[in-house]
Structure 1
Amino acid sequence: MQIDTTLAAVVTGGASGLGEATARALAAKGAKVAIFDMNADAGEAVAADIEGVFCKVDVSDEASVDAGFARARAAHGQERVLVNCAGIGTVGKLVKRDRETGAISHHPVDLYRKTIEINLVGTFICMAKAASGMMTLDPVGEHGERGAIVNTASVAAEDGQIGQVAYASSKAAVKGMTLPVARDLMGEGIRVNAILPGIFRTPMLAGLPEKAQAALAEAVPFPKRLGDPAEYASLVCFMVETGYFNGECVRLDGAIRMPPK
């Protein structure tokens, strides 16, 4: 699928990090981009910079997602591309013992539910709404393509570390639904892929001390650095533009395999 001025795209989590880089990369190729995010200040700024549209959206809330797609489509028409980058990172063991008192506690259930609701259910809702809209479009090209969806999982889907029970399970589920959804949509000409990013220089990591960032970079086999969000965005564009890319989950991680902690 060609990325040009005729293409409308939606990027969730597009106000910062991997989502912002993706929104900018798609816009640089000419696409009309709508950004879904909860951070209105950052989202409006990025949208203005790329001549896109910002929609304040809570991806875990169906009504909010519906309103976001309505606004995006009113501005740009029906999207042919959806990139799901919205998500949160949470930390907590299933159970833990206090070293001083010996008291035992478990992972807060509400925090687990929140992680699943945003990372997994949010991805599901946005895919369902986008695919429903894409199915109304006329197919294009020799093989009748209607759209492309790219989801964001994580290397934690395969290498979940201590304290990542919520995050890793949410991302493993994003990975796990990639192939069945690609099969669900194969008769409609809609492709679905997922990227499993490793350690990237995003706002979340940028807040760490330089020493901690250097240690993370050193753990990467090659190249020994943090990933650049522009590299993630480049892979998204490749997945969108390459018609034979479908049903795949691709690690983008400098060959890192995460240790237990």
Structure 2
Amino acid sequence: MIRLAAERMSAGAPNAEGERGVIVSTASIAAYDGQIGQAAYAASKGGIVGMTLPIARELARSGIRVVTIAPGIFETPMMAALPKEAQESLGKMVPFPPRLGRPAEFASLVAEIVRNPMLNGEVIRLDGAIRMAPK
């Protein structure tokens, strides 16, 4: 997916600073705090984290930035399937703010990444300072 997006972006005209686009990937805090039973999931998210900087360096010559967001516990369709009490309990695990992350907060970070040309090759945790327990 990144390769295909980068090909299309590379063909475009650069802006005044030479930028042709921004690729924002999504990982997860599981890349850092994988829980028992999550080895495959944590490894896949760790792979996204690990490829961010090398791909950013490779695509820099084409004027393309690469940034990854590693979200914590967010309001998602999967989360909406849980009982309200379970959602509230998970939200209380977040140090601050003690609630689930909101899609608008994720979108706001994406918008800032696009606006700020110095954000490149970075993984940003968007998690309210939560660190997941082993289980």
The answer to which structure, 1 or 2, has the higher relative contact order (CA under 8 A, 6+ apart) is 2
Q: Which residue of 1 aligns with 2:100?
A: 226
CA RMSD of aligned residues (A): 0.7
Q: Which residue of 2 aligns with 1:199?
A: 73
Sequence identity (%): 59
TM-score, normalised relative to structure 2: 0.98
Q: Which residue of 2 aligns with 1:106?
A: none
The answer to whether 1:140 aligns with 2:2 is no
Matches within 5 A, 1:17-166: 126-141=1-16, 143-166=17-40
Q: Matched residues in 1 for 2:14 and 2:102: separation?
A: 34
Q: Which residue of 2 aligns with 1:176?
A: 50
Q: Which amino acid aligns with 1:232?
A: F
Q: Which amino acid aligns with 2:13?
A: D
Q: Which amino acid aligns with 2:84?
A: E
Q: Which amino acid aligns with 1:131?
A: A
Q: Matched residues in 2 for 1:168 and 1:230: separation?
A: 25
Q: Which amino acid aligns with 1:225?
A: R
TM-score, normalised relative to structure 1: 0.51
Which entry has the higher C-alpha Rg, 1 or 2?
Answer: 1
Q: Which amino acid aligns with 1:160?
A: G
Per the alignment, in what secondary structure is the counterpart of residue 8 of structure 2? helix
TM superposition shift of 1:211 = 1.5
Q: Matched residues in 2 for 1:140 and 1:224: separation?
A: 40
Per the alignment, in what secondary structure is the counterpart of residue 22 of structure 2? strand
Q: Which amino acid aligns with 1:140?
A: N
**May I ask how many residue pairs the two structures share in their alignment?**
135
Unaligned runs of 5+ in 1: 1-125
TM superposition shift of 1:200 = 0.2
Per the alignment, in what secondary structure is the counterpart of residue 150 of structure 1? strand
Unaligned runs of 5+ in 2: none
